[in-house]
């Protein structure tokens, strides 16, 4: 078993747990963006979102909601970002599906990604058409 998250789930590597049930583990990230940054991980190994069964996605979503509320009520965050880096090109370092939940404070300095408009309405329609045809 080479997956670091699988080793954490098996108890082979220590972690700071903030939530655990039969199918989900939530731990503090050891390299947090902000204090309280947590990882929400399915206990079964799935490489990415496409591999994750819907039932596990729903279980993870319920835990995300609980942790988000706990970050606000117990930790003092005024908001949070939920981030998924799906596949290496998107920044996924560990090939085990996981969500990041990052508490936010007004002056934390964290910036969201840059945005830019489509070059034309035609280009936007073309992109939408390609995505819709694949559904």
Q: Give the mean pLDDT of the chain.
A: 95
Predicted pLDDT of residue 14 = 96
Residue with tokens 């596990």: 56
Q: Where is average pLDDT lowest: 63-72, 77-86, 104-113, 123-132?
A: 104-113
pLDDT over 70 at 7, yes or no: yes
The catalytic residue positions are 98
The pTM of the full predicted model, rounded to 2 decimals, is 0.90
The end-to-end CA distance of the chain, in Å, is 35
Tokens of residue 18, six digits: 């903030």
C-alpha R_g of the chain: 17
CA distance 127 to 70: 38
Mean pLDDT, to the nearest integer, of 9-20? 96
pLDDT over 70 at 1, yes or no: no
Name the pLDDT band for 56 (thresholds 50, 70, 90). Answer: very high
Domain borders along the chain are: 4-134
Phi, psi of 125 (to 5 degrees): -65, -40
Closest CA to 64 of 90, 31, 97, 93: 97
Out of 3.40.50.300, 3.30.70.100, 3.30.428.10, 1.20.1740.10, select the CATH number for domain 4-134: 3.30.428.10
pLDDT over 90 at 113, yes or no: no
Mean pLDDT, to the nearest integer, of 37-47? 97
């Amino acid at each position: 078993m080479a997956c670091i998250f699988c080793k954490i789930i098996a108890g082979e590597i220590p972690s700071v747990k903030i939530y655990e049930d039969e199918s989900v583990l939530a731990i503090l990230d050891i390299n947090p963006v902000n204090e309280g940054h947590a990882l929400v991980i399915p206990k079964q190994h799935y490489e990415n979102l496409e591999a994750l069964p819907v039932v596990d996605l729903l279980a993870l979503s319920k835990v995300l909601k609980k942790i988000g509320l706990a970050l606000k009520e117990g930790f003092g965050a005024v908001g949070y970002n939920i981030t998924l880096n799906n596949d290496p090109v998107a920044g996924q370092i560990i090939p085990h599906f996981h969500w990041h939940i990052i508490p936010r404070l007004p002056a934390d300095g964290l910036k969201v990604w840059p945005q830019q408009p489509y070059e034309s309405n035609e280009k936007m329609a073309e992109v939408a058409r390609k995505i819709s045809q694949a559904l």
